[in-house]
Amino acid sequence: MSNKTATTLLPEERKKGFREIHRCYEPHQAYLEASRCLMCEDAPCTKGCPAGVDIKAFIRKIRFHNLRGAIREIREANVLAGICGKVCPQELLCQKECSNTEIDIPINIAALQRYVADVELRRSVSPSARQFAQRIKVAIIGSGPAGLAVAANLAQKGYEVTIFEAEAKPGGLLTYGIPPHRLPSSAVQKEIRYIKRIGVKIRCKTKIMNIDELFKKDFKAIFIGVGLPGARKIGLPGENLKGVYTALEFLKDVITNKGRTKQTKIGKRVVVIGGGDVAMDAASCALRLGAQRVDLVCLEGYDEMPSSPEERRICWEEGVEINTRVMPLKIIGSKGRVTGYKGIGIRWRKPGLFIPSNAIPIPGTEFSLKVDTVIEAIGQIPDTGNVKGFKGIETAGPGYIVAKKKTFKTSRPGVFAAGDIVNRGATAVQAVADGNAAAEAIDAYLKRKR
Ligand SMILES: Cc1cc2nc3c(=O)[nH]c(=O)nc-3n(C[C@H](O)[C@H](O)[C@H](O)COP(=O)(O)OP(=O)(O)OC[C@H]3O[C@@H](n4cnc5c(N)ncnc54)[C@H](O)[C@@H]3O)c2cc1C
């Protein structure tokens, strides 16, 4: 049994509903896992963590039963310790570096991080004391991991921080994107409550369309972490039929209404178009909502798909049919509703370049599937409304914000930006890491201004 399956529910159990698939370690399991760590001199695991968590140090503290010390160690670099412990693609980050060492099976670092964060949040440990109050106001637009990381860091330094969030609940894609079987909403809200205890104010249902208004209200610096709330569309014939959804609208509905609303009531046969993590999430949710067959169709081969190997493995184990190296041709419909999907096999013109313009259809490989729901999961884009509202800020493409590397300064003095809206879509831990760096830059800017 690998160290991964030791903490994961079996596929048959998983498909029954939205129970969290990764179980938390029991104390004895955590100590055993921590005791396997080789305590490498150069700690390659830390180099693999975008937020720079001192992994060796926190694992050592678990070994010595110092759980409070362990969580403090993690939170110093990553305020969303518990959330990232649940959703980080560790096999591509810290754990990948661990597997390059002398160790036989790499340490399940994410499970250890989940364990200490869960213990801490259950005990309602208070955040460490704030530094003296500075009475300087900073506005954060967006409460995803980037905004939360900036807010927590600045509040800890004594700034008066207010987050403005368009949605009814804070958390960004952690709340409205990642489905509950991977990240339960209660885990997100617990960690957000922790951040509020540091002193961060969060105003939900407040969409900021004009940053000049914030400067007029005496905010001395502004951070933009608005993510990518728009869904990219392929532009296929039949895309406007009833029963065709984007993954973002489908997942949001699953999270808020368990997919039972009229708009996204799932059919018996579902096709998900895309090969990334979002496609995997849509496919596994469709199964949980009772779909009898879920076909995932993507341009890439199995090992070329952008999804994390772990996500792919989970979907495959649960019975999602993964159809690789195929291109969609059209969505077929009757009386305004989707009834089928037509695709064709492809090969790559240039090897190693996995983009649609490099795909050549192979004549004679056309195929059709009978389906009643199609979910498109081919990427996210900026909200064009935001782009217009943020005057004086340089953007690129459809509205990605251009910000300096390391300082995350935008083209407008006093305005900083990070997370998906700048890096064009990465991971929660990358958003936290960039948010940490942006907070340092905002602090330096405000000190200089004074
Ligand atoms: C389905 C799905 C699954 C994913 N799974 C994983 C995973 O397993 N692991 C992982 O590490 N990453 C995952 N990601 C990616 C990760 O969620 C993102 O990289 C991360 O959330 C980006 O953080 P952010 O703060 O930049 O933006 P977001 O999380 O998108 O947050 C932006 C917030 O800004 C708000 N906002 C937008 N405009 C305004 C405005 N004008 N005024 C006020 N508020 C505004 C939005 O409502 C939103 O709450 C996944 C993404 C998706 C879609």
What the block records as the tokens of 444 is 């330096």
Helix or strand holding residue 224 (H, E): strand 219-224
Same domain? For 220 and 235 the reply is: no
Q: How far apart are CA 378 and CA 26, in angstroms?
A: 38
Confidence (pLDDT) at 263: 61
Q: How far apart are CA 133 and CA 16, in angstroms?
A: 50
Mean pLDDT for 416-432 is 97
Q: Is residue 129 part of a domain?
A: no
**CB atoms near residue 133 (< 10 Å):** 10
- When divided into structural domains, the chain yields a total of 3
How remote is the CA of residue 300 from the centroid of ligand 1, in Å?
25
Q: Is residue 128 part of a domain?
A: no
How remote is the CA of residue 230 from the centroid of ligand 1, in Å?
11
Same domain? For 335 and 389 the reply is: no
The b-or-e profile of 91-117 (16+ CB within 10 A means b, else e) is bebbbebbbebeeeebbbbbbbbbbbb
Q: Is residue 39 part of a domain?
A: yes
How remote is the CA of residue 386 from the centroid of ligand 1, in Å?
15
Ligand 1 atom nearest to 145, measured from its CA:
25
How remote is the CA of residue 325 from the centroid of ligand 1, in Å?
28
Q: What residues does ligand 1 touch, defined as CB less than 6 Å away?
A: 87-89, 141-147, 164-167, 172-174, 177-178, 207-208, 225-227, 229, 251, 277-278, 281, 383, 386, 419-421, 426-429, 431
* Residue tagged 């005990």 (tokens): 123
List residues bridging with 219 in a β-sheet.
Answer: 137
Ligand 1 atom nearest to 380, measured from its CA:
53
How remote is the CA of residue 144 from the centroid of ligand 1, in Å?
5
How remote is the CA of residue 319 from the centroid of ligand 1, in Å?
28
Ligand 1 atom nearest to 142, measured from its CA:
34
Same domain? For 267 and 343 the reply is: yes
Same domain? For 222 and 247 the reply is: no
Mean pLDDT for 172-184 is 95
Reported as a single tens digit per residue, the pLDDT across 186-227 is: 999 999 999 999 999 999 999 999 999 999 999 999 999 999
* End residue of a domain, out of 334, 357, 380: 380
* Residue tagged 């955590």 (tokens): 30
- Kindly report the CA angle at 108 between 312 and 93, in degrees rounded to 5? 65
Band (pLDDT 50/70/90 cuts) for residue 262 is low
| pTM of the complete model | 0.94
Same domain? For 118 and 33 the reply is: yes
Confidence (pLDDT) at 264: 66
Same domain? For 116 and 141 the reply is: no
User: 255: closest CA among 200, 301, 186, 320?
Assistant: 186
- Using most ligand atoms within 8 A of CB, pick from 226, 393, 416 the residue to mutate for ligand 1: 226
Q: Is residue 131 part of a domain?
A: no
Q: Can you give the CATH number for the domain in which 193 is found?
A: 3.50.50.60
Q: How far apart are CA 402 and CA 182, in angstroms?
A: 32
The distance from CA 7 to its chain's CA centroid, rounded to whole angstroms, is 21
How remote is the CA of residue 70 from the centroid of ligand 1, in Å?
27
Confidence (pLDDT) at 266: 85
Let me know how long the chain is: 450
How remote is the CA of residue 437 from the centroid of ligand 1, in Å?
18
**CB atoms near residue 79 (< 10 Å):** 28
Ligand 1 atom nearest to 385, measured from its CA:
41
Same domain? For 287 and 390 the reply is: no
Ligand 1 atom nearest to 170, measured from its CA:
49
Q: Is residue 130 part of a domain?
A: no
Ligand 1 atom nearest to 229, measured from its CA:
30
Mean pLDDT over all residues of the chain?
A: 92
* End residue of a domain, out of 91, 122, 153: 122
Q: Rounded to a whole number, what is the distance in angstroms from the first to the last CA of the chain?
A: 59
Ligand 1 atom nearest to 167, measured from its CA:
47
Q: How far apart are CA 319 and CA 140, in angstroms?
A: 42
- Using most ligand atoms within 8 A of CB, pick from 173, 208, 212, 416 the residue to mutate for ligand 1: 173
Same domain? For 273 and 221 the reply is: no
Same domain? For 371 and 394 the reply is: no
Q: Is residue 132 part of a domain?
A: no
Least confident of 95-104, 286-295, 396-405: 95-104
Same domain? For 236 and 329 the reply is: yes
Note every long-range contact of 106-109, with CB atoms under 8 Å and residues 24 or more positions apart, other chains counting.
Answer: 106/3, 107/3, 107/33, 107/34, 107/36, 107/37, 107/45, 107/59, 108/3, 108/4, 108/6, 108/7, 108/33, 109/45, 109/55, 109/59
Specify whether the CB–CB gap between 377 and 274 falls below 8 A.
yes
Q: Name the residue range of residue 216's domain.
A: 137-229+382-449
Specify whether the CB–CB gap between 387 and 397 falls below 8 A.
no
Mean pLDDT for 13-22 is 86
Same domain? For 148 and 114 the reply is: no
How remote is the CA of residue 226 from the centroid of ligand 1, in Å?
8
Amino acid 432 reads V
Beta-strand pair 269-273/293-297: parallel
Q: How far apart are CA 152 and CA 194, in angstroms?
A: 9
Q: Can you give the CATH number for the domain in which 52 is found?
A: 1.10.1060.10
Is residue 392 scored above 70 in pLDDT? yes
How remote is the CA of residue 80 from the centroid of ligand 1, in Å?
14
Is residue 405 scored above 70 in pLDDT? yes
- Which alpha helices (DSSP H) does 217-319 contain, by range? 247-257, 277-288, 309-318
Same domain? For 253 and 221 the reply is: no
- Using most ligand atoms within 8 A of CB, pick from 22, 113, 178 the residue to mutate for ligand 1: 178
Is residue 4 scored above 80 in pLDDT? no
How remote is the CA of residue 210 from the centroid of ligand 1, in Å?
21
* Residue tagged 């999961």 (tokens): 377
Cα distances from 53 to residues 58, 116, 423, in angstroms, run 9, 14, 21
Band (pLDDT 50/70/90 cuts) for residue 101 is confident
Q: Is residue 264 part of a domain?
A: yes
SS3 state of residue 291: coil
Q: Is residue 318 part of a domain?
A: yes
Band (pLDDT 50/70/90 cuts) for residue 259 is low
* End residue of a domain, out of 56, 87, 122: 122
Mean pLDDT for 96-115 is 91
